[in-house]
Structure 1
Amino acid sequence: MRRVAVLFILGFFWPALAFGQGYMARLLHHPVPGGVAVVPLGAGDAAPRAFLGKDRVMVLRDSDGQWIAVVGIDLKTGTGRQALRVEGGTQGDRSFQVGGKQYKSQHITLKNKSQVNPDPEQVRRYEREYKEQIDAYRRFRDAGPSNVSLDRPVNGRLSSPFGLRRFFNGQERNPHSGLDFAVPAGTPVKAPADGVVTIVADYFFNGKTVFIDHGQGFITMYCHLSAFQVHEGQPVRRGDVIGKVGATGRATGPHLHWNVSLNNARVDPAIFINAFQP
């Protein structure tokens, strides 16, 4: 009996052992549009380098000692196979499968009509600001993040989830690229991991905004703030207050809009706080 029991236990755990899944793989692997794929890269002393298209991908050593690629999947990605180019190591290139996911719709009414249909000067301003943000998202520092299981930047109710199809005054716009927290104005916003502040700016749509670079293409953004408590280039530690919640920019009331980006793909922040809904 004892031997049968031991074999049952080994059989129960064998799939995890066979695939070599460590803690980060189990936490982060949700390979859908707007999700994250964790791709095993094998063991070895030196970290390999991985690329999805032209964008370099985060590579970490997981709790089981294996190297893994942590790949952000853009919301516009279709279902099917995606190729990952790997440099270094002896395992060769990799691929992963992207599954499907349906996102809900959200209809918002704005009194400020220019935030639905900006005039030409406002469009030029937005284009400048958009380029500045994309440049920040594309940066890749070799230093790895202090943690990928993130703290919530504020404690409060999750309101608008990631990926919503958004309609402003009846007109469809880009899907919701972050996660919203419904919290009062003035609530302190805290860094969920160590990093370097790369943007402190007041944007047309995002309002007062802070970007933090956590390393290896892992970037977080905080929007609609009422006040800043950091400056560009400042190192921050996990738990440091970076600003306060507000309703600046395109917002109907006080809340925090929080983005997470990997390899220049905006992904669901809920994955990193163990709140992902399949």
Structure 2
Amino acid sequence: MKRFIMLVCLVSLAVPAQAEGFITRLLNKPVPGGVAVVTLPEHTDAPRAQYREQPLLVIREDGQRWIAIAGIPLTAKAGTEHIELEGGNQIPFTISDRDYPEQHIKLQNQQHVTPDPEHLKRINRELEEQISAYKTFSARQPSNLMFDRPVNGPLSSAFGLRRFFNGEERNPHSGLDFASPTGTSIKAPAASQVILVGNYFFNGKTVFLDHGQGLISMFCHLSAIDVKVGDEITRGQHVGKVGATGRATGPHLHWNVSLNNTRVDPSIFIGAFVP
């Protein structure tokens, strides 16, 4: 009996009191452009948390503990940062460094590299619309955090690439590209509501989906949009078709994922992240 009790004690010591859950293992990639999953203090209701003054997605993982899921900006530096809880308490987490390669793209339309003043007015107006959509923070709980791929096609351009258009450096690549032919059906990676559609100078035909609590998908360069603002979309539902509208050199799907108004690497959510 004593040997049995000792064995039970040893086994219990070998198992962490709070082993990592599925969501933490899937999403916790704390690098610039990645995601940090931070365990929160126990509370009856979901604690409220912020990172860089933006509200965070908070869920209960495996029915055991509250976790905050924070998107980390590409501009973040390696080191310690903090999540702030309601009441002023802070929880630290560590960001590791990550290098992103360069991508050089040749465009025929020079306006897509250095737009003239008239085009800049349109670009700035459209940018305000899209920034407002990225700031959406609804109370809805995301239906799933292991996303489905929106199209069945190979990844053609990774997130975070330093991009040079006709030799001029521009903003890093803020999403993930899939090489798919024009007309390929695009499907919602999770249940959502359509919060914005438009035809933009750079992004072409574009759809924004709100999955809940600051988790947003954006699809652009579409050839067709088959949903409208306010539509409730189920997981796997058709939303539009792949195209090459806007600043695109050929047909493909560009997919952005945003958390707490921060663009993060979509590959994390489909289990395709490569450190």
Report if the CA contact (8 A) 1:22-1:64 is conserved. Answer: no
The 3-state SS of whatever aligns with 1:159 is strand
From the superposition, tell whether residues 68 and 247 of structure 1 become closer, same or farther in structure 2 (CA, over 3 Å): same
Deviation at 1:53, TM superposition (A): 2.3
The one-letter code matched in structure 1 to 2:31 is: V
1:233 corresponds to 2:240: no
1:103 matched residue in structure 2? 100
1:208 and 1:5, CA in 2 relative to 1: closer, same or farther beyond 3 A?
farther
Shift of 1:233: 1.3
Q: For residue 155 of structure 2, what is the aligned residue in structure 1? A: 158
Secondary structure of the structure 1 residue equivalent to 2:49: strand
- What corresponds to 1:189 in structure 2? 186
Q: Which runs of 4+ in 1 moved over 6 A?
A: 1-9
Change (3 A) 1:153 1:239: same
Change (3 A) 1:158 1:9: farther
Question: What secondary structure sits across from 1:214 in the alignment?
Answer: strand
Residue equivalent to 1:25:
24
C-alpha change, 1:179 and 1:9, in structure 2 (3 Å) is: farther
Q: Distance in 2 between matches of 1:182 and 1:6?
A: 53
Q: Look up the equivalent residue of 1:184 and give its one-letter code.
A: P
- Could you tell me which of 131, 138, 148 is aligned with 1:141? 138
1:207 maps to 2:204: yes
What is the CA–CA distance in structure 2 between the aligned matches of 1:202 and 1:150, rounded to whole Å? 25
Q: Percent identity?
A: 55
Q: Would the aligned equivalents of 1:21 and 1:64 in 2 still touch at CA under 8 Å?
A: no
1:59 aligned partner, one-letter code: V
Shift of the 248–43 alpha-carbon distance from structure 1 to 2, 3 Å rule, reads same
Unaligned runs of 5+ in 2: none
The equivalent of 2:273 in structure 1 is 276
Q: Amino acid of the residue matched to residue 103 of structure 1? A: Y
- Tell whether the 8 Å contact from 1:210 to 1:223 is kept in structure 2 after alignment: yes
Q: Which residue of 2 aligns with 1:130?
A: 127
**Structure 1: segments with no counterpart, 5+ residues:** none
Give the match's secondary structure for 1:42: coil
Q: Residues 273 and 9 from structure 1, CA distance in 2 versus in 1: closer, same or farther, beyond 3 angstroms? A: farther
Query: 1:83: how far off?
Result: 1.5
Equivalent residue for 1:198?
195
Per the TM alignment, residue 246 of structure 1 is displaced from its structure 2 partner at its CA by 0.2
Give, as a single letter, the amino acid of the residue that structure 1 aligns with 2:90: D
For 1:128, give the aligned amino acid: R
Alignment of 1:108-119 (within 5 A): 108-119=105-116
Counterpart Cα distance in 1 of 2:167 and 2:10 = 57
Deviation, 1:71, is 0.3
Letter in 2 for 1:258: W
Report how far residue 20 of structure 1 moved.
3.7
Partner of 1:38: 37
User: Which residues in structure 2 correspond to 1:54-69 (within 5 Å)?
Assistant: 54-69=53-68
Residues 1:114 and 1:64: Cα distance change in structure 2 (over 3 Å): same
Aligned residues: 273
CA–CA separation in structure 1 for the residues paired with 2:42 and 2:236: 33
Three-state SS of the structure 2 residue aligned to 1:100 is coil
Cα distance in 2 between the residues matched to 1:10 and 1:185: 56
Partner-residue secondary structure (3-state), 1:183 = coil
CA distance in 2, matches of 1:218, 1:143: 10
Query: Following TM superposition, by how much is the alpha carbon of 1:187 offset from its aligned partner in structure 2, in angstroms?
Result: 0.2
User: Could you say what secondary structure the match of 1:197 adopts?
Assistant: strand
Distance apart, 1:32 and its partner CA: 0.3
Give the letter for the 2:47 counterpart.
P
Pairwise CA RMSD:
1.9
Alignment of 1:238-257 (within 5 A): 238-257=235-254
* Counterpart pick for 1:224 among 221, 246, 263: 221
